[in-house]
A and B are shown apart, each in its own frame.
Chain A
Amino acid sequence: MTTIAPHRERSLFARVFTGPAAGITIRRSLFFFMLFLAVIGPWIESIGQWIPIPVYDPLRPDPFNPVSPPSAEHWFGTDTLGLDIFTRVIVATRVDFTLALIGVTLGGGLGCLAGAWAAYRRGWVDTVALRFVEVVQSFPVLLLGLALFAALGPLDIFGPVDHGMAVLVIAIAMVNFPLYLRQVRSVLLPLTEAEFVQAAKCAGLGAWGIVWNHFLPNARGQILALFALTCAYAIQIIAGLSFIGLGIEPPNPEWGSMIKTGATLIVQGHWWVSVFPGAAIVLSVYSLTGFSVRSETVIGPGGTST
Chain B
Amino acid sequence: MFLVNRVAILAVVLFAVVVIGFAITRSTGTPLYASLGVAVSEEIIQQRAEEMGLNDPIVVQFWTYFTALARGDLGSSRISYIPVAEDIALKLPATAEMVFFTLVFSFVWAIPLGVRAGLRPEGKLAKLGEGMAQFGVSVPAFWLGLLFVFLLYFLPQRIPEPLGPLPSLFPPPLGRLGGATPPDMVTGFYTVDALLAGDIRLAWQSLWHLILPALTLSLTSGPPLFRVTRSAVSEALSSPFVEAAYSYGLGRRTVLIRDVLRNASPPVLNLAAMTFGYLIGGGVLVEVVFSWPGIGSYAVWAMNNSDYDAVLGVVIVAAVIYVILYFIVDLIQFAMDPRLRD
In the assembled complex, A26 has its CB within 8 A of some CB on chain B: no
The reply to whether B138 and A289 form a contact with Cβ atoms under 8 Å apart is yes
Please tell me if the beta carbons of B27 and A244 are within 8 angstroms of each other in the complex. Answer: no
B282 and A153 within 8 A (CB)? no
Q: Per a CB cutoff under 8 Å, which of A138, A154, A278 touches B143?
A: A278
Query: In the complex, A150 Cα to B143 Cα: how many Å?
Result: 24
The stretch of A117-125, A191-199, A219-227, A259-267 that contacts the partner chain: A259-267
- The reply on B210 being an interface residue by CB < 8 A is no
Residue ID in chain B nearest A271 by CB atoms: B150
Taking the nearest CB of chain A, how far is it from the CB of B227, in angstroms? 12
Write the chain B residue with the least CB distance to A148.
Answer: B24
Do A274 and B303 touch across chains, with their CB atoms under 8 A apart?
no
For residue A143, CB closer than 8 A to chain B, the reply is yes
A172 within 8 A of B: no
A140 touches B319 (CB 8 A): yes
Max chain B Cβ within 10 angstroms of own Cβ: one of A143, A151, A152 = A143
Find out whether the CB atom of B149 lies under 8 angstroms from the CB atom of A138.
Answer: no
Contact between chains at A140 and B281 (CB < 8 Å): yes
Query: Across the interface, which residues of A come within 8 angstroms of B25, CB to CB?
Result: 147, 150-151
B278 partner residues in chain A, CB cutoff 8 A: 140
B1-32 CB mask vs A (1 if < 8 Å, else 0) is 00000000100110011001100111111110
CB distance from A225 to the nearest CB of B (A): 15
Asked if A52 is at the interface (CB within 8 A of a chain B CB), the reply is: no
How many chain A residues sit at the interface, stated as a range, is 35 or more
B30 touches A154 (CB 8 A): yes
Interface string of A233-271 (1 = CB under 8 A from B): 000100110011110000000001001001100111101
* Contact digits for A281-295, partner B, Cβ 8 Å, 1 yes 0 no: 110011001000000
Identify the interface centre among B9, B137, B140, B299: most chain A CB within 10 Å of its CB: B140
Q: What's the Cα separation between A139 and B338 when bound, in Å? A: 31
CB of A14, distance to nearest CB on chain B (Å): 26
Q: Which residue of A lies closest to B142 (CB)?
A: A243
- Residues of chain A within 8 A (CB-CB) of B329 are none
Majority DSSP secondary structure for residues of B touching A: helix
Bound CA span A135–B10, Å: 10
Q: Are A153 and B314 in contact (CB under 8 A)?
A: no
- Once A131-B12, A244-B300 are accepted as A-B contacts, the answer to whether A147 and B312 lie under 8 Å apart by CB is yes
Measured between alpha carbons, how far is A232 from B136 in the docked complex, in Å?
13
- Does the CB pair A266–B146 fall under 8 Å? yes
Q: What residues of A have a CB within 8 angstroms of the CB of B303 in the complex?
A: 146, 149-150, 244, 246
Q: Give A149 to B314 CA distance when docked, in angstroms.
A: 14
Scan residues 121-149 of chain B and give those whose CB is less than 8 A from a CB of chain A: 134, 137-140, 142-143, 146-147, 149
**B28 contacts A152, C-beta separation under 8 Å:** yes
CA distance A289 to B323 in the complex (A): 29
* B306 contact from A140, A143, A150, A240, Cβ within 8 A: A150
Task: Report yes or no: A139 in contact with B315, Cβ–Cβ below 8 A.
Answer: yes
- For B173, give the chain A residue with the smallest CB separation: A267
Measured between alpha carbons, how far is A150 from B173 in the docked complex, in Å?
Answer: 27
Asked whether any CB of chain B lies closer than 8 Å to the CB of A144, the reply is yes
Q: Are B154 and A266 in contact (CB under 8 A)?
A: yes
Residue pair B318, A143 in contact (C-beta under 8 Å):
yes
Residue from the list B9, B26, B154 in contact with A131, Cβ < 8 A = B9
The chain B residue with its CB closest to the CB of A145 is B284
Using Cβ atoms and an 8 Å threshold, which residues of chain B touch A236?
140
A134, CB-defined interface residue at 8 Å: yes
- In the complex, the answer to whether A281 meets B312 with C-beta atoms within 8 Å is no
Shortest CB distance B313–A (Å):
11
A151 to B296, CA, bound (A): 18
Question: Are A151 and B24 CB-contacts (below 8 A) given A142-B284, A244-B300, A286-B134?
Answer: yes
Query: When the two chains form their complex, are residues A135 and B17 in contact, meaning their CB atoms are under 8 A apart?
Result: yes
A289-B227 Cα distance, complex, nearest whole Å: 15
Which residues 150-178 in A have Cβ within 8 Å of B in the complex?
A: 150-155
Q: Contacts A131-B16, A155-B28, A281-B143 known; A150 to B311 CB distance under 8 Å?
A: yes
| Given A132-B16, A135-B16, 17 further pairs, Cβ under 8 A | A135-B17, A143-B281, A146-B300, A149-B303, A150-B306, A150-B311, A155-B28, A240-B284, A243-B140, A246-B303, A259-B142, A263-B146, A268-B154, A278-B139, A278-B140, A281-B143, A289-B138
- The 6 A-B pairs at the shortest CB distance, nearest first, are namely A140-B281, A278-B143, A154-B29, A286-B138, A140-B282, A285-B138
A interface list, Cβ under 8 A from B = 131-132, 134-136, 138-144, 146-155, 232, 236, 239-240, 243-246, 256, 259, 262-263, 266-269, 271, 274-275, 278, 281-282, 285-286, 289
Listed A/B pairs (15) with beta-carbon separation below 8 Å = A136-B20, A138-B326, A140-B282, A140-B319, A140-B322, A142-B281, A150-B25, A152-B29, A245-B304, A267-B173, A268-B154, A278-B140, A281-B139, A281-B140, A282-B138
